[in-house]
Amino acid sequence: MLICLQYPFADSRKFLTGNTHSLNRPTWPSPEPDSEFIRYFGSIRKRGRGGVRGWIGENEICEAHRAFRFLSLPVPTFEDSRPRVAFRRLFFDGLAVGKFETGIYGGFYTPTIQALRYMLRLPVQVRLGLEGFRTSELGKAGKHITQLYASATTATISGSRVDPKSWWVSVGQPLIFVYWIGNKPPEFRHREIPLPDSYTFRLYYSSISYAGKDIPIWLIDHGYEDGKGILDAARTLRLYLLRLHAEHAGLRLVLRNIEANIIPVVRGTPPTELLQFYLNSATRRIKKWESKTGDLVESELGNLARESQEFISPGKRDAILNRLEIVGIRKNIFRKVEGYLNEWVGLDRTPFQVSGDFVMGDKYVMTGQVGAVGPNAQGSDMTFTQTWSNWEALPDFTSLAGELAELRREMNKQATDPHQDNSVTEIAKAEDCAREGDGPRMLKHLRSAGQWALDTATKIGTSVAVEAIKKSMGS
């Protein structure tokens, strides 16, 4: 089985006034293989089986094995073989959108949550240019890798290094892609996407909570048939979905920088003309290839891809459009961006429907947007994820876990009936989630703890816990 982790990123430097000293090489989107390279990352190579017809680039990638190294690849407790690194590579479209991907081959025969968390928690060291390495879990390394990319693609002037601004290159929401041969569905909550009868492989969609965020997961089971046509179709679908995710993430990050006035939009200037070109081509490209991908699998994968990323609030949508309207961006481009943003906030979106169901193991079946499943399940996972994503000033997990531990001890002293015992248990579960950095699940348990937990937290003065409990209750 192969587990691939992608970190998409957006490079805003071409849209800025003034000289950012960004390097013009490699000459993306068509760099010279075996001749050009990215400092601290590696050489440009031709992709072995080529790219995908119709996408800009993708035929050449940067072998990024120098950017970071795995400190260890221990044998998982749930398997009997040691995983190995499959690849570390980087791609950039030459204008704004890039992606870093790494893959792990393992002896895992069926995707499990343990296998995915194993990969996300692997310790890695990311280069700090010539100054050594920074240690991190793989699942938290995206920011460090994009900072290294910004430094690697910025020139040195008169022997002195130019320090890139932190927002010049920004990382987007990661994505996991899993491939295996087994004719058996994933052993966790998932949705099967209907495919044409001519395909013998299967496509699934799911997500995993990690460090307070939900990471989307695409999964392809090749089954037991490995004919060239089947493998080529599965590979094409994989490249489509990976590139679409990066394109969505890149456009969202650029729009965020416009809304924050980090990218100064001044009509008639070369950077703004290039920005308008990007906005026009990016929205057109995404719409075209969502349609192409949908043709492949006969499903509205564009809607599901949007569901897999963070929500754009109506307020931010209006702020972005207001900013573009003030500077007089061309009307046809304005309409395209407006349509794109409307889909993200749900104004023009129809609910995604598939004939398959979300499945949790072999016990519970969920259809549509059911939030909880199983005995005593309460609340909507989607609601808690959205609440967490929209929380403007996220709490410090260490402080919150400490206050929840204090609250749990106090509640345990006072508990006199089974309902209060259950409330104490929910606070204990929320405390565990806080220590693991899982914000949405923490909110779910806090809500289940109920009003008594809020009253007790208020009484003993655990202010961070009080705010978290209130958020879980929607106040």
Q: How many CB atoms lie within 10 A of CB 356?
A: 17
Which of 122, 124, 140 lies closest to 82, judged by CA? 122
pLDDT of residue 35: 94
Contact 126, 141 (CB under 8 A): yes
| Tens-digit pLDDT string for the chain (475 aa) | 899 999 999 999 999 988 888 998 899 988 999 999 999 999 999 987 666 665 666 789 999 999 999 998 888 776 667 789 999 999 999 999 999 999 998 766 678 888 899 999 999 999 987 778 999 999 999 999 999 999 999 988 766 667 888 889 999 999 999 988 877 888 888 888 877 777 778 888 888 888 878 899 999 988 765 555 556 777 777 888 888 889 989 998 999 888 888 898 888 899 999 999 999 999 988 877 766 655 555 444 555 555 555 556 667 778 888 888 887 888 889 998 988 888 766 544 443 333 334 444 333 333 333 333 333 334 445 556 666 656 656 677 888 889 999 999 999 888 887 778 888 988 988 888 888 777 778 888 898 899 999 999 999 999 999 989 988 887 7
CA distance 397 to 403: 10
Residue 342 C-beta-side C-alpha neighbours within 13 Å = 10
Contact 381, 372 (CB under 8 A): yes
Q: How many CB atoms lie within 10 A of CB 164?
A: 20
DSSP state of 154: B
Contacts for 232 with CB less than 8 Å, ≥ 6 apart: none
Helix (H, G, I), strand (E, B) or coil at 333: helix
Q: What are phi and psi of 87, to 5 degrees?
A: -165, 160
Return the amino acid letter for 135: T
Q: In what order do the strands lie in the sheet with 68-70?
A: 68-70, 123-127, 133-137
* Distances in whole angstroms, Cα of residue 382 to Cα of each of 316, 372, 389, 393: 20, 9, 10, 20
* Distances in whole angstroms, Cα of residue 242 to Cα of each of 52, 239, 313: 12, 5, 25
Tokens of 364: 């519970």
DSSP state of 13: G
DSSP state of 140: G
| Torsional sign, CA 346, 347, 350, 351 | positive
| Torsional sign, CA 431, 434, 439, 440 | negative
Contact 377, 403 (CB under 8 A): no
CA 301 to chain centre: 16
Helix (H, G, I), strand (E, B) or coil at 453: helix
Name all contacts of 368-375 with Cβ < 8 Å and 24+ positions apart.
Answer: 372/444, 373/189
DSSP state of 94: S
Which of 1, 221, 222 lies closest to 109, judged by CA? 1
CA distance 273 to 67: 33
Residue with tokens 């072999």: 362
| Torsional sign, CA 17, 338, 243, 390 | positive
Helix (H, G, I), strand (E, B) or coil at 206: strand
Contact 320, 341 (CB under 8 A): yes
Tokens of 307: 């569901």
CA distance 199 to 182: 15
Contact 301, 193 (CB under 8 A): yes
pTM score over 0.75: no
Contact 117, 51 (CB under 8 A): no
Residue 218, strand partner residues: 177, 205
- Of all helices (H) and strands (E), which one includes residue 257? helix 228-259
Contact 55, 290 (CB under 8 A): no
Residue 126 C-beta-side C-alpha neighbours within 13 Å = 19
Where in the chain are the domains? 2-345, 381-472
* Cis amide leading into 26 (omega within 30): yes
Quickly list DSSP for 358-372. EEETTTEEE-SS---
Residue with tokens 């009509």: 267
